Structure 1
Amino acid sequence: MHAPADLAALPAPGNTDPALRAVALFEAAKGVVSLVGAGALAFAGAARLQLWAGMLLARIQGHAPGTGWLQRMISADSVRLVALAIAAYGLLRLVEAWGLWRARAWASWLGCVSAALYLPFEVHALVRHPGWIAATVLAINLVIVAILGRDLLRRR
């Protein structure tokens, strides 16, 4: 009896592509950092963020802290919404990392499409503000798209 074609395309356990594992670890790290950031944002709360925003604007603009536009945008609801969005992003990255570690095709699709979505913005950033940071971010995403694209082509 033959295995279905999609199961036969999966690598044997322990024979996972090291590049795919590296991308999985990178995505897991992004997920963990995002969840920590979301927790820190929620823990800080709107009042503390308003204070910090006022201090930052005062430092940038060179006058005493006051109620600026940035402070007015920060509310308990907006902080919760942003923290929730960051947490959802982090969970998505962790799910993707799990799928990549287990060599699942859906995770390669998810990672390839999500990384490719950033590429036009990263090229724009590099053109507008050339520098090693923009170039490094673009290069990392190009490598990720190449690794995941290669994995998807290999499965065909």
Structure 2
Amino acid sequence: MTDAPHYNPDPHAHPGLHVIAIFEAAKGVLALFAASGLELLGPAPLLRWVNELTQRFQLDPNQGALGWLSNTINPDSVHLAAAVVFAYGILRLVEAWGLWRAKAWASWLGCISAAIYLPLDIYALFRHPGWMSVGVLLINLIVVAVLARDLVKRRH
């Protein structure tokens, strides 16, 4: 009787990789749902939502971000947005698979992609102080620290 092949993780890999992998997989699945929703719904609900916001807050529909959005939303821009969100979802799922399998490239990808958000998280903390901003910053710092530690452990 042969044994089924089983997973043999890198003994130097950080034990927190599986937690981060689950988090990244959830982000990837949500992104795929969002991309699907954009494709299925099309531009009409988005335009309606922007118009409702403009009316609710009594904004000039030709000025600011909402004015820009209402002029930018069209079938082509929705397809482009859906494609970008779909690619992001696939990237998160590939990263999650790599982290689950304790691949060094996935730790690099995760560490770099989480670190990119740190300046934005710090800006958000100063611009909108509160528990949400602190929580997001702490989570990203923990992810960067765990993945960086994993990469350092692999080098030694």
Q: TM-score, normalised by structure 2?
A: 0.84
Q: Choose from 50, 56, 59 the match for 2:56.
A: 59
CA shift for structure 1 position 68: 4.4
CA shift for structure 1 position 69: 3.9
Q: Deviations over 1:85-129 (max 9, x none)?
A: 111111000000000000000000000001001101110110111
Match for 1:136: what amino acid?
Answer: G
Take 1:119 and 1:63, find their aligned partners in 2: how far apart are those partners?
33
CA shift for structure 1 position 18: 3.3
Structure 1 segment 124-135 matched on structure 2, within 5 A: 124-135=123-134
How much is the aligned-residue C-alpha RMSD, in angstroms? Answer: 2.1
CA shift for structure 1 position 52: 1.9
Take 1:110 and 1:120, find their aligned partners in 2: how far apart are those partners?
17
Take 1:24 and 1:86, find their aligned partners in 2: how far apart are those partners?
19
- Which consecutive segments of 4 or more residues in structure 1 shift more than 4 A? none
Q: Deviations over 1:51-81 (max 9, x none)?
A: 22111211122799xx944322101111111
Match for 1:28: what amino acid?
Answer: A
Structure 2 unaligned residues grouped into runs of 5+: 1-8
Partner of 1:111: 110
Take 1:53 and 1:92, find their aligned partners in 2: how far apart are those partners?
29
Partner of 2:142: 143
Number of matched residues?
143
- Residues 134 and 16 (structure 1 numbering): CA distance in 2 closer, same or farther, change over 3 Å? same
Partner of 2:21: 24
Q: Choose from 27, 35, 38 the match for 2:35.
A: 38
Structure 1 unaligned residues grouped into runs of 5+: 1-9
Identity among equivalent pairs (%):
55
Take 2:10 and 2:58, find their aligned partners in 1: how far apart are those partners?
57
Partner of 1:123: 122
Match for 1:58: what amino acid?
Answer: Q
> RCO (CA 8 Å, sep 6+): is it higher in 1 or 2?
2
